[in-house]
C-alpha cells in the first residue's frame, strides 16, 4: 500500500508550493473583494491597495515557482476516473493559469493606468504610459479570473472534502503529507 500511495502522493516541495500559493491567493481574492467591492473610497484605501499590489508580487514570484515546479514534476496518477477526472484536471488548470494571470494582469493594469507597483517600499516596478484601453482590458481579465478562481477554489476544496469524507480515499491526505 505504501508504494501505491507514493505513486499518488505529492513531494514536500509540491505540498509547500501548494499551501503557500493557496494562502496567498485566497487572501488576495478576499482582500480584492473587500478593497474594490466593499470598502468605501477613503485615504486608507490607497494604502491597502499598495499592500494588495505588494502581496500580488509575492503571488507572482511564488505562483511562477509553483506552476514551474508542477509542470517540471508532472502530476501524480489520478485517483478518480472518467468525467470526474476530466473535471478535476480542468479545475486544476484553471487554478494554475489563474495563479499567473492574476498578478500579471494586475501589474499590466496598474502600469498602464499610470501607477507604479511598489514591493513593500523596497523597490518599485515603474508605471508605463497611461493607455486606458490596456488598463481596462487588464483589469477586466483580472475580474473575470477572480470569479473563475473563486469558483475553482470552492470546487477544489469541495472535491478534496468529498474524497476525504465520502469516498474515504487519500486524495486530501496526499496534500497534507499523510499519504
The more confident residue out of 161 and 81 is 161
b/e map 54-77, b = 16+ CB within 10 Å: bbbbbbbebbebbbeebeeeeebe
The CA distance from 169 to 23, in Å, is 24
Burial of 25 (0-12, 13-18, 19+ CB in 10 A): buried
- Looking at residue 40, its pLDDT comes to 92
The CA distance from 168 to 159, in Å, is 12
- Looking at residue 1, its pLDDT comes to 44
Interaxial angle between packed helices 43-73 and 83-111, expressed in degrees from 0 to 180 and rounded to the nearest 10: 140
Instruction: Please write the tens of the pLDDT for every residue from 5-39.
Output: 445 678 899 999 999 999 999 999 999 999 999 99
Length of the chain: 179
Q: Domain limits of the chain? A: 2-175
The CA distance from 124 to 79, in Å, is 44
b/e map 112-141, b = 16+ CB within 10 Å: bbebebebeeeeeeeebeeeeebbeebbeb
The CA distance from 90 to 75, in Å, is 13
Instruction: Please write the tens of the pLDDT for every residue from 58-100.
Output: 999 999 999 999 999 888 777 778 998 899 999 999 999 999 9
- Looking at residue 5, its pLDDT comes to 46
Q: Model pTM greater than 0.85?
A: yes
Stated as kind and residue range, the H or E segment containing 118 is strand 117-119
- Looking at residue 179, its pLDDT comes to 56
- Looking at residue 130, its pLDDT comes to 97
Instruction: Please write the tens of the pLDDT for every residue from 110-147.
Output: 999 999 999 999 999 999 999 999 999 999 999 999 99
Instruction: Please write the tens of the pLDDT for every residue from 141-152.
Output: 999 999 999 999
CATH number of 2-175: 1.20.950.20
Amino acid at each position: 500500500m505504501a508504494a501505491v500511495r507514493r505513486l499518488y502522493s505529492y513531494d514536500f516541495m509540491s505540498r509547500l508550493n501548494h499551501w503557500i500559493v493557496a494562502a496567498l491567493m485566497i487572501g488576495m481574492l478576499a482582500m480584492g473583494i473587500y478593497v474594490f467591492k466593499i470598502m468605501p473610497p477613503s485615504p486608507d484605501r490607497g494604502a491597502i491597495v499598495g499592500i494588495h499590489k505588494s502581496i500580488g508580487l509575492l503571488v507572482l514570484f511564488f505562483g511562477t515557482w509553483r506552476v514551474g515546479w508542477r509542470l517540471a514534476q508532472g502530476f501524480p496518477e489520478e485517483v478518480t476516473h472518467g468525467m470526474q477526472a476530466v473535471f478535476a484536471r480542468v479545475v486544476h488548470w484553471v487554478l494554475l493559469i489563474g495563479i499567473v494571470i492574476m498578478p500579471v494582469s494586475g501589474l499590466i493594469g496598474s502600469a498602464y493606468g499610470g501607477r507604479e507597483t511598489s514591493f513593500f517600499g523596497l523597490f518599485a516596478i515603474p508605471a508605463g504610459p497611461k493607455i486606458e484601453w490596456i488598463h481596462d482590458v487588464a483589469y477586466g481579465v483580472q475580474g473575470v479570473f477572480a470569479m473563475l478562481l473563486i469558483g475553482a477554489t470552492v470546487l477544489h476544496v469541495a472535491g478534496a472534502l468529498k474524497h476525504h469524507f465520502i469516498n474515504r480515499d487519500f486524495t486530501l491526505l496526499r496534500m497534507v503529507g499523510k499519504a
